């Protein structure tokens, strides 16, 4: 790995968490609407409520880890949200709720570096596997995860039917 793409993680600050809550809700709402899971009306509010349910104590929610990806020199390049216990109870398996490289830092190999840093953070906390969901329309993420060694464990498919 080149020096340019080395990424470390640090804890998210309360101010970063406050801003991130809105960013992640907007992105989640857009994804849910784009794949046809939710209508556009109230999607943002629904995403905020879903995240608040997952993080009832915010940054202090037990078993949840919100981290900032930092390049050497201290420049923040993205963020990661990891649940150290799997939401469906899969033993010895953490769950990657969110990983994002800021738009201005994309295309530099930092997504892979951020993912590797997240994997190290999970392993350092004694968890043996990491699982994630990715929307089928997100071809860049699908390629990244496949290249990083992730394999499909379940798959949902949908077909729009004529009315």
Domain residues of the chain, as ranges? 9-147
Long-range contacts made by residues 31-36, C-beta under 8 angstroms, separation at least 24? 31/135, 31/138, 34/135, 34/137, 35/135, 35/136, 35/137, 35/158, 36/158, 36/160
For the chain, the average pLDDT equals: 91
- Give the residue from 42, 54, 114 showing the smallest Cα distance to 84: 54
State residue 5's pLDDT score. Answer: 62
Q: Tell me the three state secondary structure of residue 159.
A: coil
- Give the residue from 65, 67, 88 showing the smallest Cα distance to 77: 67
Per-residue pLDDT of the chain (163 residues; tens, 9 = 90+): 334 468 999 999 999 999 999 998 998 899 889 888 899 999 999 999 988 899 999 999 999 999 999 998 889 999 999 999 999 999 999 999 999 999 999 988 899 999 999 999 999 999 999 999 998 888 989 999 999 999 999 888 878 889 9
Q: Tell me the three state secondary structure of residue 98.
A: strand
pLDDT, tens digit, for every residue of 144-162? 999 999 999 988 887 888 9
Enclosing H/E stretch for 47 = helix 43-54
Give every strand in the sheet of 64-71, ordered side by side. Answer: 7-11, 64-71, 75-83, 94-101, 130-132
The top-level CATH class assigned to 9-147 is alpha beta
pLDDT, tens digit, for every residue of 4-32? 468 999 999 999 999 999 998 998 899 88
Q: pTM here?
A: 0.87
């Amino acid at each position: 790995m080149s020096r340019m793409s080395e990424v470390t993680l640090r804890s998210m600050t309360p101010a970063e968490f406050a801003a991130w809550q809105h960013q992640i809700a907007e992105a989640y709402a857009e994804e849910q609407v784009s794949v046809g899971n939710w209508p556009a009306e109230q999607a943002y509010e629904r995403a905020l409520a879903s995240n608040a349910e997952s993080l009832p104590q915010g940054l202090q929610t037990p078993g949840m880890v919100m981290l900032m990806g930092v390049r050497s020199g201290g420049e923040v390049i993205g963020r990661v949200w990891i649940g150290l216990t799997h939401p469906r109870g899969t033993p010895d398996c953490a769950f990657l709720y969110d990983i994002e490289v800021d738009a201005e830092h994309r295309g530099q190999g930092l997504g892979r570096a951020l993912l590797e840093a997240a994997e190290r953070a999970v392993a350092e906390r004694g968890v043996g596997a990491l699982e994630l969901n990715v929307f089928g329309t997100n071809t860049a993420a699908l390629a990244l995860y496949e290249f990083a060694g992730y394999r499909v464990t379940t798959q949902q498919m949908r077909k729009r039917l004529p009315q």
